[in-house]
Amino acid sequence: MTTKTMTARRWATTGTLALGGAAVTLAAWAGGEPYLAVALAVIYTVCCGVAFLWSRGSGDVAALIRLTGDERQRLIDLRATAVAGLVTLAFCLGGAIIDLARGGTGNPWALICAIGGLAYVVALAVVRRG
């Protein structure tokens, strides 16, 4: 892979993080939280700088940040993503159960669990066919 391609991928990754940060920052500002918005802007700016500099390295995380990991590195990323998804769904399921026990409707926790379950079924069907 050429240096030009690696640099372009580093910028693309950093740009994606910056766009997400800008969206969160603008949402906080629009929601009437200017101090939170400024804090988020600072945090995301620092994160963008760290991601850009870190992606220059030669380790596993650097390769995954710039989207050029080998098969072993991509498997590490896949496993980490799966664990994060399972923990998130378990947390949401717990939230739904606690909300129901307190006399609530389980929302929005139940909705998140349903979306996660549906996404799993669709992904299973797609990956099985692929």
Are residue 92 and residue 116 in the same domain, yes or no?
yes
Whether the model pTM is above 0.85: no
pLDDT, position 30: 97
Question: Whole-angstrom Cα distance, residue 75 to residue 47?
Answer: 24
Question: Which residue, 69, 92, 113, sits at the end of a domain?
Answer: 69
Are residue 25 and residue 65 in the same domain, yes or no?
yes
Tens-digit pLDDT profile for residues 38-47: 999 999 999 9
Taking every pair of Cα atoms in the chain, the longest distance, rounded to a whole number of angstroms, is 59
Are residue 7 and residue 56 in the same domain, yes or no?
yes
**pLDDT exceeds 70 at position 127:** yes
pLDDT, position 58: 67
Domain extent for 13: 1-69
The phi, psi pair for 73, rounded to 5°, reads -65, -40
Are residue 84 and residue 47 in the same domain, yes or no?
no
pLDDT, position 67: 66
Are residue 52 and residue 81 in the same domain, yes or no?
no
Are residue 108 and residue 93 in the same domain, yes or no?
yes
Question: Whole-angstrom Cα distance, residue 50 to residue 109?
Answer: 33
Tens-digit pLDDT profile for residues 49-104: 988 888 777 677 667 766 667 788 888 888 988 999 999 999 999 999 999 999 99
Are residue 47 and residue 84 in the same domain, yes or no?
no
Q: How many CA atoms lie within 13 A of 72 on its CB side?
A: 2
